[in-house]
Structure 1
Amino acid sequence: MTTSVSPLSGDANPSAGPLGRPGPTRGRRVPAWASAALWVAAIIVVLSTTSYLTGLTQLTASGTIESTVRLALPILLAALGGLWAERAGVINIGLEGMMVLGTWGAAWAGFHWGPWAGLVAAAVFGALGGALHALATVTFGVNHIVSGVAINLLGLGVTKYLSTLIFAPISNNPRASPPVDKFETYSAQPLSDWLGELEAMDRVFLSDVAGILRGLVTGVSPLVMLGVLLVPVSYLVLWRSRFGLRLRSCGENPVAAESLGVNVYLYKYSAMLMSGALAGIGGAALVLNPGQPGYAENQVNGRGFIGLAAMIFGNWRPTGLLGGSALFGYADGLRLRQGEITVHALLYGAALLIIGIAVVQLLRRRWIVAAASMIGAGVLYALYWSTEELPRELLAYAPHLVTLLVLAFAAQKLRPPAANGVTYRRGEGD
């Protein structure tokens, strides 16, 4: 005897379709940490394969990874600054200007009192930029984009004036500071030496992984440790605390947050102060890390905007923006090491990665996406096969081109805070 179950019944099988017919079953969602681990493993495999097939060991060399960490750090800190601001509903185009203010503050205090004082001064100078942006957008309701552009221009003008006034008599150069003391670097010994031996063995995949790991634990400064630590700290504060819940509610629905007793203005100002401080510390990374001469005019060079792109690529999540920052830093690091050849090899690696994505889409029966991925992979491979190296003129813009390509690829899956950039006035819900 068979029994029929109404599709409106609470006892119906959730996988059943209308009229009791079996419907499509939903697979269990992969945890975020597992998805991130799979992506990391896939990228390492692609880089190892590309390195083996092209003969370019620089793709996974420890020196390349060390450069990646150093170059990704200011982008990561700028991205974290953008995350704090936009989760509270404030678009922060002014990250670039806040980083510029941070570079000058780090050089000024670092020259007089050492790198730790420079780090604090950079955070204070950046926070001042964040407070000014909050005053314009939160209190006076100025358009967020207009205010951010003004902050960028103001940062350039103020630092140029201060540099001419204070640094020029000391360094005889109004565009640069005198040499500034740097943070010391540390390596995890004897692990670093052991990984170096594995890397020197030139074994497929094993040496590649050893080179990547050695680059992550060699020549690390306290500023790098701080930047990496700020990623889980930001996650815990924004997603695992009452303060973070209230702050994020201001970015999703400030009227509803106000109706529940949240002081929206206070949380937006707090977020902007933190955003500016993080961007300022990102500027300090360009001054206080080893290998940097000190403050120099135009040394930020668009990293604030790339940090904003990394935050968007990461879908306004700390772990996602960490991956985006690493990607942009890696593209910049390759540019410094046999740039024309190594960056050209990324075309081959990108083609392999996209083919893997196409295979996954085929298994999921997403025919159109799979076909588009295969066409894209074919275009990249044809470009790689038809050229020997990239023009030198394009190398300086490699991180920016990677930014555009990544954002175009990830645009359909982005979900910004609902009230991001919306002008809020106290009492609107009354």
Structure 2
Amino acid sequence: MSESTSTVSLASTAPKKGGSRRKLSLPVIYLIVGGGLALFSLVRVISGADDLTSVGQVSGALQLAVPIGLAGLGGLWAERAGVINIGLEGMMILGTWFGAWAGYQWGPWTGVLVGVAGGALGGLLHAVMTVTFKVNHIVSGVAITILATGLTRYMSNFTFAETEGGSSKQSPRIDAIERITVPGLSDWLGDLQARHWFFVSDLAGVLGGLITNLSLLTVVALLLVPGTWWVLWRTSFGLRLRSCGENPIAAESLGVNVYKYKYIAVIVSGGLAGLGGAFLAIITGIYQEGQTGGRGYIGLAAMIFGNWMPGGMALGAGLFGFTDSLKLRGGAVNVHAMLLLLAILLLIAVVWQLYKKKYVGAVISAAFSALLFTWYALTDELPSQFVDAAPYVATLLVLAVSAQRLRMPKANGQPYFRGQGK
């Protein structure tokens, strides 16, 4: 069978979207983004939380979102090929350690490459256990995380502990990667944002945060999102890989080496998670035990929120990075302002549900909206415990709201045996 015929046949096995669902056009996307920014601006004006859309806030949110997004991107590669990768956290841990170990000796960019290799080794181990030996994907992922935690702790004892400035729990300092700022434009956007005008200053803050003090490693990470979309959805290689996660038996019948594609996907998955871990160590300039802080699991949640698509995953990672940045920069004041934002969003949901004649959902949304409005009006700031939990609460809320529209690859997590379709 020729390659073109095989590709066409594989395309015919791809899942069809519902006929009633339409793709969003570019003008509609711009309108949604503009409406969301206007809503943030309204909340900022009412609450007085001027740091809500500042240059520093957006820049910090981007830096916090990148490692989560890289882990989510790694999960997307694996699960699109039908392998659940709950070991992303362990692969990130390997990336942080190997990235720091190589980074302080041979420079940050070498640390990046070695961190990717460390995560890829974790991905290879996961592929061997799940694809070749048919171990349960969840069990394998948890085992890799436990193994990575113990292994890096052991290796730190005879590497970092014997170096100047290091210890058994942290590495010596790592040289920084170059940062870029657009001269002139960054200063102008910063001045415009500082005026606190409605919408205009908020737009300036967002744009300024994307071009001010931006690490070159962040640029590389951002480019991987459209790069993944192009490879998986615009090439015959990507079509074959995704067919392994949808219907591996049909893919095998068309000449696709399913084992090979699953191995490639899971190794790339580990490499991306390792890059996320190396990013954490090198951007902060030091490796510390427990540095990942569960970001591998949050990246998995961002991938699910994004419906196993790169763009949606990036949006989910950005949401968590933004809420985490709110906590770090403005603390109780910024998180308190988010109560008002959630209340308004629920009010919009009430109107939409009434339009769709979903009266029960409208009543529930109205009740929660009233509760949040009351909470916001009766308090000036939130308890520190709630502020610390805000990013995780936001993640759970988003997953709960988006759960009904999710559709994972059909063969995701299912064991595959070569020749089982014969």
Same fold? TM cut 0.5: yes
Distance 1:224 1:336, change over 3 A: same
CA distance in 2, matches of 1:247, 1:135: 17
Describe the SS at the equivalent of 2:102.
helix
Question: 1:155-212, CA deviations, whole angstroms, 9 ceiling, x for partnerless residues?
Answer: 1111111111111000351000000011121112221111112112221111111111
Question: Counterpart in 2 of 1:279?
Answer: 273
Q: In structure 2, which of residues 318, 338, 342 is the aligned counterpart of residue 346 of structure 1? A: 338
- Looking at structure 1, the residues matched to 246 and 176 of structure 2 have their Cα atoms a distance apart, in angstroms, of 41
Write the distance in 1 (CA, Å) between the matches of 2:166 and 2:216.
31
After superposing the two structures, state which structure 1 stretch, 227-236 or 334-343, moved more.
334-343
Bigger radius of gyration among the two: 1
Shift of 1:125: 0.2
Q: 1:269 aligns with which of 245, 263, 271?
A: 263
Match of 1:167 in 2: 160
**1:354 deviation in Å?**
2.2
Q: Deviations over 1:224-275 (max 9, x none)?
A: 1011100110000011110110110110111111111111100000000110
Q: Structure 1: which amino acid aligns with 2:218?
A: V
Aligned to 2:191: 197
2:354 is aligned to 362
Task: Report the CA distance shift for 1:250/1:194 in structure 2 as closer, same or farther (over 3 A).
Answer: same
User: CA 1:180–1:56 in structure 2 vs 1: closer, same or farther (change >3 Å)?
Assistant: same
Note the C-alpha offset of 1:28.
8.1
Matched, 1:227 2:221: yes
- Indicate which of 157, 161, 172 corresponds to 2:150: 157
User: How far 1:363 sits from its partner (Å)?
Assistant: 3.4
CA contact (8 A) 1:43 1:353 kept: no
Name the CA distance, whole Å, in 1 between partners of 2:337 and 2:324: 14
1: CA distance, partners of 2:265 / 2:194: 47
Q: What amino acid does structure 2 have at the position aligned with 1:104?
A: W
Give the Å deviation of 1:62.
Answer: 0.9
Q: Counterpart of 2:394?
A: 402
Tell me what 2:408 maps to. 416
Aligned counterpart in structure 1 of residue 135 of structure 2, from 131, 139, 142:
142
- State the distance in 1 between where 2:143 and 2:366 align: 43
Contact 1:90 1:420 in 2 (8 A): yes
Tell whether 2:372 aligns with 1:384.
no
Amino acid at match of 2:57: T
TM-score by length of 1: 0.90
Match for residue 62 of structure 2? 69
Contact 1:344–1:389 (8 Å) recurs in 2: yes
Partner Cα separation in structure 1 for residue 265 and residue 117 of structure 2:
14
Alignment of 1:295-306 (within 5 A): 295-306=287-298
Aligned to 1:3: none
Q: Show the 5 A alignment for 1:103-118.
A: 103-118=96-111
Residues 55, 206 of structure 2: 8 Å contact kept = yes
1:99 aligns with 2:77: no
**SS of 2:91 mapped into structure 1:** helix
RMSD: 1.6
- One-letter code aligned to 1:195: L
Which residue, out of 169, 174, 182, partners 1:180?
A: 174
SS at match of 1:336: helix
Identify if the C-alpha distance between structure 1 residues 253 and 156 changes in structure 2 by more than 3 Å, giving closer, same or farther.
same
Q: 2:52 aligns with which of 55, 59, 64?
A: 59
Q: What residue is the counterpart of 1:16 in the other structure?
A: none
CA contact (8 A) 2:194 2:201 kept: yes
Q: What are the ranges of 5 or more consecutive residues in structure 2 without an aligned counterpart?
A: 1-18
Q: In structure 2, what is the Cα distance between the partners aligned to 1:184 and 1:293?
A: 12
Letter in 1 for 2:310: P
Structure 2 CA distance for aligned equivalents of residues 381 and 149 of structure 1: 41
Q: Distance between the aligned counterparts of 1:79 and 1:114, measured in 2?
A: 26
Q: Percent identity?
A: 52
Corresponding residue for residue 6 of structure 2: none
1:395 shift after superposition = 2.6
Deviation of 1:361 after TM superposition, in Å, equals 3.3
Aligned residues: 403
Instruction: Please state how far the C-alpha of 1:29 moved relative to its aligned partner.
Output: 2.6
Match of 2:365 in 1: 373
Residue 320 of structure 1: aligned partner = 312
The offset of 1:314, in angstroms, is: 0.4
Point out the more displaced range, 80-89 or 354-363.
354-363
1:309 and 2:301 matched: yes
Deviation of the 1:33 alpha carbon: 4.5
Q: 1:230 to 1:260 in 2, by over 3 A?
A: same
- 1:130 to 2:123 alignment: yes
Deviation at 1:32, TM superposition (A): 5.7
- Corresponding residue for residue 210 of structure 2: 216
Taking structure 2 as the reference length, what is the TM-score of the superposition?
Answer: 0.92
Contact 2:175–2:285 under 8 Å retained in 1: no
Question: What's 1:21 paired with?
Answer: none
- Give yes or no for contact 1:63–1:215 (8 Å, CA) kept in 2: yes
